[in-house]
Amino acid sequence: MNLQTMSHNDRLILNRIRLWCNGYNLTIRSNGEVLGTDDDSDPDNMIEISFREEDNLIRLLGTNSQLYVCFDDKGQLYGEKDAKNPGTLFMETVNASYSTFQTTLGAKSWFIGIRKNGKPKPGKRTGEAQKDTRFLLRKLMTDHHELRMSHDDRPLANRVRLCCNGYNLAIRSNGEILGSDDVSDPDSIIEITSGGDDNLVRLLGNNSRMYVCFDDSGQLYGEKDPNNPGTIFKEAFIDSYSTFQSTLGSKSWFLGIQRNGKPKPGKKSGKTEKDKRFLLRKVVISHNDPEFSNHVRLWCKGYNLTIRSNGEVLGTDDDSDPDSKIEISYAEEFNRVRLLGTNSQLYVCFDDNGQLYGEKDPQNPGTIFIEAYISSYSTFQSTLGSKSWFIGLRRNGKPKPGKKTFKTQKGTQFLLRNVL
């Protein structure tokens, strides 16, 4: 299945999401009511994002109600059947790890928003800088109805790495569970499967074929039998992170990784601790696997990293620009990656002076970068000698010279956005 040629039904698997704001998911009822709900198993809060190619505007469709989020002339939100209604069109803007959705109705500056009580916010009272209008897009990777795919399709949606305290949760074939700092470790690829009810899940090691499991004393290990009750966890969301709580009796044990990479005993775990919060990262598939290549856009300072056919590397603010589609592939060792422009077929590369350009030869050492994570962002550091150069974009969209970059600069921190 190729991402560029997949059918409409296949695309639904990739662009069905939940829009989370103020602790609520944007929801569209069959009666046309738009509101926020805190029930992750509510089918009415599954949203499908669709694009209008000519101007890159989007629509938000309730997959269950088959109604579009829409503003009326007074700024009230409701569910609309007719996709041609201009109130269904929105302009998406990415702000940090969040998205805002502004109406295109005339000169209105209305944004979709949810109040702290879950009620929709009138458009006239919204602004882009308000927290009530900032939505976290959550992929539907743990649903267990029509979104639970066959084994052959699973690499597209529910294979992830669970990152905590700088380590990825790993399950060895001998049953050992630990944190691994090697992002190419095959034992750290986790498949999220249904736990049978609500938002209950199981975590299966893609390589070891063993499930994360708590024993009766609160120790984590790899279990072959999915019917063991210790393999079932309740997933909850805190900001952009997930927590996984055991369902064993009245236990309040959480899955966790300590700062040294060792698993945390359930008896010493707590929901609010940092070592219980996991960032779900979509698995980057090998460049040699054309069916499941990882196509993304790398967003920084309002621009997408772009590679022109003439070798120019720059930032563009046009999400429909084909030169901004990037394929991430692993290099030969450790957590090294290459960034390939899918349209130009050129790799992002540093020359000896720290200037970025597009390179044809993947064997050029300037094409290899170390990917590291800062919160929900990624940084890409050159592996050229002892250089500490990072890929970066300036506020005007121009590439930043490697000599003027460092890891904690905002201009070197990229948000990975999946290409739908």
The domains of the chain, with CATH numbers, are 16-139 (2.80.10.50), 149-282 (2.80.10.50), 294-418 (2.80.10.50)
Instruction: Count CB atoms within 10 A of the CB of residue 217.
Output: 8
- 156 pLDDT band, cuts 50/70/90, is very low
Q: Work out the average pLDDT over 13-37.
A: 84
What is the rounded CA–CA span in Å between residue 53 and residue 74?
28
pLDDT of residue 185: 86
DSSP type of residue 110: -
Secondary structure class of 291 (helix, strand, coil) = helix
Lowest mean pLDDT among 52-61, 109-118, 197-206, 407-416: 52-61
Residue 265, pLDDT above cutoff 60: yes
Q: Work out the average pLDDT over 330-359.
A: 87
The closest alpha carbon to 189, from 171, 201, 202, 164, belongs to 171
Q: By CB neighbour count within 10 A (0-12 exposed, 13-18 middle, 19+ buried), where does 306 fall? A: buried
Residue 351, pLDDT above cutoff 60: yes
Q: Work out the average pLDDT over 319-334.
A: 79
Query: Do residues 217 and 251 touch, judged by C-beta distance below 8 A?
Result: no
What is the rounded CA–CA span in Å between residue 414 and residue 373?
9
Q: By CB neighbour count within 10 A (0-12 exposed, 13-18 middle, 19+ buried), where does 230 fall? A: buried
pLDDT of residue 182: 79
pLDDT of residue 306: 97
Residue 60, pLDDT above cutoff 50: yes
The predicted-structure confidence for 269-314, as pLDDT tens digits, reads as follows 775 577 788 877 766 444 334 333 467 889 887 789 999 999 999 9
pTM of the model: 0.45
Lowest mean pLDDT among 162-166, 311-315, 330-334: 330-334
pLDDT of residue 1: 31
Residue 10, pLDDT above cutoff 90: no
Higher pLDDT pick, 337 / 95 = 337
- 87 pLDDT band, cuts 50/70/90, is very high
pLDDT of residue 11: 35
The predicted-structure confidence for 113-147, as pLDDT tens digits, reads as follows 999 899 999 999 998 778 889 887 776 543 333 33
Q: Work out the average pLDDT over 3-21.
A: 51
pLDDT of residue 92: 82
pLDDT of residue 254: 93
Query: Do residues 366 and 374 touch, judged by C-beta distance below 8 A?
Result: no
The predicted-structure confidence for 175-204, as pLDDT tens digits, reads as follows 999 999 876 788 998 988 877 765 688 999
pLDDT of residue 5: 33
Higher pLDDT pick, 284 / 39 = 39
